[in-house]
Amino acid sequence: MEAAEFDYIVVGAGSAGCVVANRLSADPSVRVCLVEAGGSDNSLRVKVPAGILSLYGNPNYDYCFVGVPQPELNNRRIPVNRGKALGGSSSINSMVYIRGAAEDYDEWARLGCAGWAYRDVLPVFRKLERNLLGQDPRYHGSDGELLVDSPRDPNELSSMFVKAGKNAGLPANADFNAESQFGLGIYNVTQDRGQRFSSFSAFMRPVLHRRNLTLLSECEVIDLAVAQGRATGLRVQHDGQQKTLSASREIVLSAGAINSPKILMASGIGPAAELRQIGIAPLLDLPGVGKNLQDHVDGMITVRSRSTRTLGLSIANLPRMAAAPFQYFARRKGMLTTNYVEAGGFAKTRHANGLPDIQFHFVPGYRSHRGRLIEYGHGYAIHTCVLRPKSVGEIKLSRDGSRRDVLIDHRFFTHEDDAMVLVEGIKIARRIFASPEFDAVRGKEMLPGKDVRGDDEILAYLRAEALTVYHPVGTCKMGTDDMAVVDPATLKVRGVDGLRVADASVMPKLIGGNTNAPSMMIGQKVSEMILGSGRSGGK
């Protein structure tokens, strides 16, 4: 078995991990290793925004997790797409730049996470951001590495959607990351001149020349090495053989809300009784590992339209499709620039308690009523998700003895409030689509269908069709209660020295919005914690 020694090892080259590896390796006196299970992101499928359709469910870029049967969703198993490549999920996501509401972070602070209130995290978001739109400097940064722009060539239906919001009492909102999220607008995106700009693009690719930085891709973590209460290294599978990577200072798990708890449990760190049941000797009884899983449950309305003003695969659209590659590579314009969810926004149902409780992702193209990624024809669709779900699930290791397979149980709709909110959200989405703005492209509602009108009928539809928008969080939550896994002040794993977690799994509650940017913020925060501890210098 080969061995290699470093000062710091960061597990996961995703949204948070790339930030951590960048910041730690800025000190040339320390040796930093970034470990990623996935491979290269150097593909047009990743770089060209419209290539996203070829990434979901593709095992070259996606872990292709599938959850356990959900009793409240007709025992369906829900796909859980997570990025498996340099950049992690920021290399397969829709590139939407959303931070969540200020109140989300203030709630974290009220839950015992001092130092994580909005006033604490806003400067961190600003530090990371290079806003190309000239947006309000009170909320946006201009000197960071992460490029934030608007879509290069949004489809005309995206603007139509924003205008149609008036029909549902939703104003236009030009900046969801400023004073208020409420309303509809064109989303900001993490792109560089119409090309995907992942966390790897922003924080790692520019510093790969650093001699003290080692990047190991296609390197799967088996478990942690822990000696006398201290994490000392990793066992990994790399280049067809098992290796040991040693960390003289610290290991930072940034493998995401699925894989970070998986690695802990595979190492004997987690709920002791559950680990014994699957044949793992508990090293540390930490009952919160894998618990507190939260995600945005989502319902869709999809409409078929004859209008070729929408994105679509059709004979009538062949000239536009044929021109798309030339438009993209010559001017970064045309169909290939779309991230498919160019517009969206935030609304309040009658159940809302002050803040918006639903989010929209509008698609100016036909979303298959049969679950296909690509469907012939034209149309448009709107995804509606529950922003702050009350249903809480968990992640466990399976009983197959591999220590690698996970059981993902969202427990969607186990709290009836989530179902009630999503039913109301579908009604609001329909009011938007009923606006005269859509008259010129109006077509047949395929899902839920015009006959699905009452609350019970809409709920039955959601039980049959609802999915997720892939924002899992919370499975290694920070806090001060008995179920907390990490200390909010340090993100250190309770009871283990030399080990921290820094990714969406540390969120105590799911934020109201997309989780890519908040994960980067968490990566920056833990970097400052480590650097501030005075341990980043020489040995």
Q: Residue 423 annotated as binding?
A: no
Cα–Cα distances in Å, from 276 out to 227, 229, 283, 392? 20, 19, 11, 24
CA distance 344 to 336: 19
What percentage of the chain reaches a pLDDT higher than 90? Answer: 95
CA contacts within 13 A on the Cβ side of 335: 19
| Set 238, 383, 410, 471: catalytic member | 471
| Residue range 1-95+198-291+472-539 in CATH 3.30.499.10 | no
- Region of 479 on the Ramachandran plot (φ > 0 left; ψ -120 to 50 alpha; else beta): left
Confidence at residue 3, expressed as pLDDT on a 0 to 100 scale: 61
What mean pLDDT comes out for the span 87-111? 98
Give the angle 514-475-90 at the CA atoms, nearest 5°: 35
The model's confidence at residue 5, banded by pLDDT at 50, 70 and 90, is: very high
Judged by DSSP in three states, 43 sits in coil
Is 238 tagged catalytic? Answer: no
Q: Which CATH architecture has domain 152-186+297-386+413-465?
A: 2-Layer Sandwich (3.30)
Share of the chain above pLDDT 70, in %: 98
Is 75 annotated to bind ligand? no
Residue 426 to residue 448: CA distance in whole angstroms:
9
When the pLDDT of each residue in the chain is averaged and rounded to a whole number, the result is 96
* Span(s) in the chain for CATH 3.30.410.40: 152-186+297-386+413-465
pLDDT band at 537 (very low <50, low <70, confident <90, very high): very low
C-alpha angle 158/91/500, rounded to 5°? 125
Task: Name which of 298, 139, 202, 66 is nearest 516 in CA terms.
Answer: 202
Is the pLDDT confidence value at 291 over 70?
Answer: yes
Residue-wise pLDDT tens digits, 212-253: 999 999 999 999 999 999 999 999 999 999 999 999 999 999
**pLDDT 10s digits, 524-533:** 999 999 999 7
- Give pLDDT, residue 402: 74
Residue located via tokens 């493998």: 255
Q: Where in the chain is the domain with CATH 3.50.50.60?
A: 1-95+198-291+472-539
Nearest Cα to Cα of residue 129 among 112, 147, 155, 107: 147
Length of the chain, in residues: 539
**pLDDT the model gives residue 372:** 83
Q: Is 76 exposed, middle or buried (0-12, 13-18, 19+ CB in 10 A)?
A: middle
- Give the model confidence (pLDDT) of 139-188 as tens digits: 999 999 999 999 999 999 999 999 999 999 999 999 999 999 999 999 99
Q: What is the pLDDT of residue 1?
A: 43
* 22 is known to lie in a ligand binding site: no
DSSP state at residue 387: S
Is 131 annotated to bind ligand?
no
Question: What's the Cα-to-Cα distance from 530 to each of 304, 325, 472, 483, 490, rounded to whole Å?
Answer: 53, 45, 25, 24, 8
Burial environment of residue 61 by CB neighbours within 10 A (0 to 12, 13 to 18, 19 or more): buried
pTM over 0.95: yes
Q: Is 95 annotated as a binding residue?
A: yes
| pLDDT for res 373 | 79
Closest CA to 255 of 533, 527, 514, 506: 506
